[in-house]
Amino acid sequence: MNSYGVGGEPTVEWDVVDSGIGPLLLAATATGLVTVAFHARPAVREATLDQLRIRFGTEPVAAPGSARLAEPSSELAAYFAGEPRDLDLVLDWSLTSGFHREVLRELASGVPYGTVVGYGELAARVGRPEGAQAVGAAMGANPLPVVVPCHRVVESDGGLGGFSGGLETKRQLLALEGVLPQPLF
């Protein structure tokens, strides 16, 4: 028996929720939240579900109202309503490994709401001070954006850097957290 229960087959439940940055696809296993996908319109939704099918060898189940997704949905709704908070959710890290996982775990635990960190500083925190570009790759491959706040990682010169959800989404998240000013219109 493994963390997925008798028979060892994981069940992946998913739903699309509204957010201040557009629809998000949330997916969870019995272990925890496994992925968050930005801009979860049909093409993105299908690509995300394909990735989950391949990784877990099972058909993800659409599960509006799922108990597994209740807390992540609630926490994200409060976050996007402007309640300052770090998202403290149970996570399934199985879509990442090695250096990427190490960097993402440090990011999740060590860069609180309303703060930012440089790519190089984050690399140094995990013992690879020369690894700023590798940190960038880890951010781009983050399966749990917003929850594992890759939007809080910026360039050392103050530039935003890249972002898998698009730079406007990164700006919106940083403005929500008070790091950047809210747009005038």
Catalytic residues: 150
Rounded CA-CA distance 131/170 in Å is: 22
Rounded CA-CA distance 158/7 in Å is: 50
Token pair of 119 as six digits: 């790519």
Helical (H) or strand (E) element with 45: helix 42-56
The arrangement of strands across the sheet holding 13-17 comes to 33-37, 24-28, 13-17, 61-62
- Length of the chain, in residues: 185
Token pair of 144 as six digits: 């749990």
